[in-house]
Chain A
């Protein structure tokens, strides 16, 4: 053993100015240091999370129990919950609020809000709203219900077009709580030129605002030129189903020849009347095949048996999608439609016959649904 060690020392002293040997020795030193460092770090992280878990679990559990008693409104003191939540770190208290605000509705939710508004979490939310740090702002957005309505609305207005996407989209998502005219105006203004994800959020928020946006939406439908933004607005109108949008939608159906026209035909299915039915029958001859298909779909939804003949005519349309929607619409017109489709099974045009067979075999719930 001693000989080996001696040999190694001799070798190293003889090659001490050899670059390769120096490099390898340095690498060995790095290896040993990094190895020990890694082990220490693993132990450190493990111990840290263990202690944090013990602290958080015990502390949060006590506050949570008090909160549940207070929400139950069985005469338990609310002050105890307020005191315990007030002692929690703000983010943990915020997480507790979010956890319960998802689960609870109605009167209990009001009690939940009242309890949390009395804690120092409200002050922290206000401070976070004023903070320049984006992550503090995202917390303020999530806890915005703890702020008074006017203050919350002003905060959402101020961040709804924030540079940080997380803040901006969080604000869009929570905007439905406030629906001030300024917020609505901002949301519609953002419909054009945004990427897919944000448009989803905008549509979702505006839809949740319901008929409150009808006035602004009608103006937007009448004035907007951008096709993508207009389609989004029509989809919102489609989801809200307010008859006040009828004229604007009919105008789009008559005057345009693009995706907006097809979307308008689809949206009119949810607000049917005699005039709309005539407009849709006219749209069965539109240039755009998607418009023809959506018009057939909408006529099916109206359930108006007088549409049978126009639909049977359109059933021989060259576009497969139009034929499908015509067949589905004919079937949804009840017995006369079913009989007509049954006859079509022996139609001279094999495409028509095939489609009739397909649609007659579909289960009832699938008629007019996505395929």
Chain B
């Protein structure tokens, strides 16, 4: 056998591996899509019943909104005002000034008329020193913590130490929660036993009209890059996470919007400060802690409570975001590799964790290698052009179907986009998503893995344009 024949054989075998991997991955995606339908149906009774809160509103457990702020002088007061305006009967808002070097604290002090109170709280989680705690003369539910800089996770841990409510929600500065979203999530804590965390849907606010910290007019953004992200978010939340509910639970509750049982998080040790994916790492650790201590628990995703976030509208920050997400995913999965295929961890160890490792984590690597070897195979005539074309069209079509499936679920249960033309635009984007955008995300994710193994721990610079009052932002 000549070396050329050996090389051809290796490439052909790798093509086969990629082909079978493609079948398995897409079969799993299809399964998730199918499972998300009954899951959505199960939740629809709550989602459509506008008056369900009439039997719950009076007695929902208290919730702390913990919002870390680092150099957010420009937007911090708007964010806090939006939080104060939320419809929730028992709310505590904890803003953690994480050693800002700009005027974030001064802005808060002047805007909300803060006064210092004695720093009485249990230091259950170790954090960088808290310099002072303030309360507001104007809004009794607002607490401001001033601490030395230690990063987002450290700030969240400090907020957790100070919080007094049974539930808490960690919020990003660029997130707008719908007024009834917290109530919808808290109802699940009342209704189901042993719930320790609930995740809600995140949607993209770019293009929508925002007034007084609320999204008042929903419409997709005009830019191609943003509109594709709208479809991408729909797919991730509508069937990805919903389908995983049925398979044993979610490993991700977005850091931008999730409601947690404070006691459970404290027991698990709070947020890890040495990772960029502290949200996912916490959820994985919660699973692990509960399973290892044989405590009954539920971590679920529900599709209706919605928070809106600002998505990057340029390629460079989008690339940094995706790269960071994948670094966080890699870190969380490798830290808890003990769970993988371990029957002790039940469905999480045998189904959900392997899905995250073999699909979410390594799919960009396999996909990139697949493109590479496929190109070589075509060049050397190992695979025929017609077969390659057929395969490409079928794979592309299947990707489109999965995205379309989430648009259909959105239409069937939510119809957040009021105009038909907007839905048609989303369908158009679902068709375009697999033509270039997906390949860029593959590149960013592979880069994320590479940077993780090089030991990079930085967040990378993110851009926040803010939600323009009364108009569309980030177009």
Contact = CB atoms under 8 A, between A and B. Distances in A.
Mutual binders A and B? yes
Interface of A: 7-8, 11, 15, 20-21, 23-25, 27-28, 30-32, 34-35, 38-39, 41-42, 45-46, 49, 94-95, 98-99, 102, 135, 138, 141-142, 165-166, 169-170, 173-174, 195-198, 200-201, 203-205, 320-321, 324, 355, 358-359, 361-363, 365-366, 369-371
Interface band, chain B: 35 or more
A344 B358 CA distance: 65
Interface in B164-205: 164, 166, 186, 189-194
B415 A166 contact: no
Contacts of A358: 116-118
A8 B394 CA distance: 15
Nearest to B52: A138
Given A11-B386, A28-B393, A169-B191, A42 B59 contact: no
Contacts of A15: 387
A169 B56 contact: yes
A31 B397 contact: yes
Given A41-B411, A200-B59, 15 more contacts: A24-B394, A28-B394, A34-B405, A35-B397, A39-B427, A41-B412, A42-B411, A45-B415, A46-B411, A95-B50, A169-B190, A169-B191, A170-B56, A197-B186, A366-B115
Contacts of B164: 370
B394 A42 contact: no
B115 A321 contact: no
B394 A95 contact: no
Most buried by A among B19, B23, B387: B387
A27 B386 contact: no
Contacts of A45: 408, 411-412, 415
Contact of B390 (A24, A170, A200, A205): A24
A8 B386 contact: yes
Contacts of B19: 20
Contact of B193 (A195, A203, A365): A195
Q: 4 closest pairs, A vs B, by CB?
A: A31-B397, A197-B190, A204-B59, A170-B55
Nearest to A10: B386
A176 B471 CA distance: 46
9 contacts: A20-B19, A32-B397, A35-B404, A38-B427, A41-B408, A197-B59, A197-B190, A320-B120, A371-B118
A54 B393 CA distance: 42
State the main secondary structure of chain A at its contact with B. Answer: helix
B420 interface: yes
B61 A200 contact: yes
A40 to B, nearest CB: 10
Contacts of A366: 115, 117, 135
Contacts of B412: 41, 45
Most buried by B among A41, A165, A197, A355: A197
B391 interface: yes
Contacts of A170: 55-56
Given A31-B398, A320-B120, A46 B59 contact: no
B162 to A, nearest CB: 10
A205 B59 contact: yes
B61 A21 contact: no
A83 to B, nearest CB: 23
Interface in B388-441: 390-391, 393-395, 397-398, 400-401, 404-405, 407-408, 411-412, 415, 420, 423, 427
A23 B19 CA distance: 11
A362 B115 contact: yes
A365 B54 CA distance: 33
Nearest to A138: B55
B398 A27 contact: yes
B190 to A, nearest CB: 4
A174 B55 contact: yes
Contact of B191 (A21, A28, A165, A173): A165
Contacts of B54: 98, 102, 142
Given A27-B398, A35-B404, A366-B117, A165 B192 contact: yes
A324 B61 contact: no
B57 to A, nearest CB: 9
A141 B135 CA distance: 40
A166 B56 CA distance: 9
B380 interface: no
Contacts of A165: 190-193
B61 A197 contact: yes
A240 B221 CA distance: 53
A138 B53 CA distance: 11
Nearest to A94: B51
Given A27-B394, A95-B51, A138-B55, A46 B415 contact: yes
B259 to A, nearest CB: 12
B58 A173 contact: yes
Nearest to A41: B408
Interface string B316-331: 0000000000000000
A166 B401 contact: no
Given A35-B400, A45-B415, A370-B164, A24 B391 contact: yes
